[in-house]
Amino acid sequence: MSGALTVLFDLDGTLTDNYPGIARSIAHALDGMGVPTPTPEVLRRCVGPPLRESFAALLDTREPLVIEQAIALYRERYADVGWRENVVYDGVEEALARIAQSMPVYICTSKPEVFATRIVTLFGLSPYVRRVYGADLAGTLDDKVKLFTHAAKTEGFDPEGALLIGDRAHDVRAARMNGARAIGVLWGYGSRDELADAHAIVTAPAEIEGAVARLNARPPTSR
């Protein structure tokens, strides 16, 4: 690899904490289907993975019509107010600003692109991001491996010269399956064990820039 890395960031649990909006919107959907709201511990596990995957687990079903009903109820609330129930983690904007000075930065999130774009714009992160890549409402890009591939093809960057930063195993898998590198962050919703296959792990946003610089200096096959 030559030149600077292309850097992709996950959104929920990495740049912003949208737990209240997600949890309340899931509760709204489950209530509409006559299902009790699970514990906060269970709801926290729903931050990051594709929503269809989370509802399949919460409802203990693989029936597409049931899952899509839950998605529709979820979006009733999320599209109205849930996406705003969000906060940018301390230090994230500063880290983004520094990295964007020398490297192209994108968002790669399992959240529907329409909502992710609203969030990035509302919270003032859009000046540092070239484009937001998110899932489509129909779910064809729910799998973050496919989403990463789509972003790389659309933007024309080499995945081996790219780096995905996120808080869940889905992020690490998406990077590795595309031949890219991954940084796991510990302020989100994944554990250190879950992120064990990342090429680096950071504990605070202030550490991101240094981790990116170190990986940028290594060949793609280095761990």
- Judged by DSSP in three states, 162 sits in strand
The string of pLDDT tens digits covering residues 169-204 is 999 999 999 999 999 999 999 999 999 999 999 999
Q: What tokens were used for 170?
A: 């889905």
pTM of the full structure: 0.93
Domains along the chain with CATH numbers: 6-17+88-216 (3.40.50.1000), 19-84 (1.10.150.240)
Q: What tokens were used for 195?
A: 């992120």
Residue 221 predicted with pLDDT over 90: no
Residue for token pair 């329409």: 114
SS (H, E, C) 33-55: CCCCCCCHHHHHCCCCCCHHHHH
Of 170, 132, 202, whose CA–CA distance to 213 is shortest? 202
How far apart, in whole angstroms, are the C-alpha atoms of residue 108 and residue 10? Answer: 5
How far apart, in whole angstroms, are the C-alpha atoms of residue 201 and residue 188? Answer: 12
Task: Tell me what the mean pLDDT of segment 9-37 comes to.
Answer: 97
Q: What average pLDDT is seen over the chain? A: 94
How far apart, in whole angstroms, are the C-alpha atoms of residue 144 and residue 63? Answer: 22
Residue 138 has a pLDDT of: 87
The string of pLDDT tens digits covering residues 116-174 is 999 999 999 999 999 999 999 888 898 999 999 999 999 999 999 999 999 999 999 99
Task: Give burial (CB, 10 Å; 0-12/13-18/19+) of 219.
Answer: exposed
Residue 103 predicted with pLDDT over 70: yes
Residue 113 predicted with pLDDT over 90: yes
CA atoms within 13 A on the CB side of 177: 14
Residue type, 115: F
Residue type, 85: E
Residue 219 predicted with pLDDT over 70: no
Residue 92 predicted with pLDDT over 70: yes
Active-site residue set? 10
Q: For residues 136 and 113, is the Cβ–Cβ distance under 8 A?
A: yes
Q: Which residues contact 1 (CB under 8 A, 6 or more apart)?
A: 158, 160, 161, 219, 220
Residue 69 predicted with pLDDT over 70: yes
Q: For residues 174 and 147, is the Cβ–Cβ distance under 8 A?
A: yes
Residue 102 has a pLDDT of: 95
Residue 2 predicted with pLDDT over 60: no
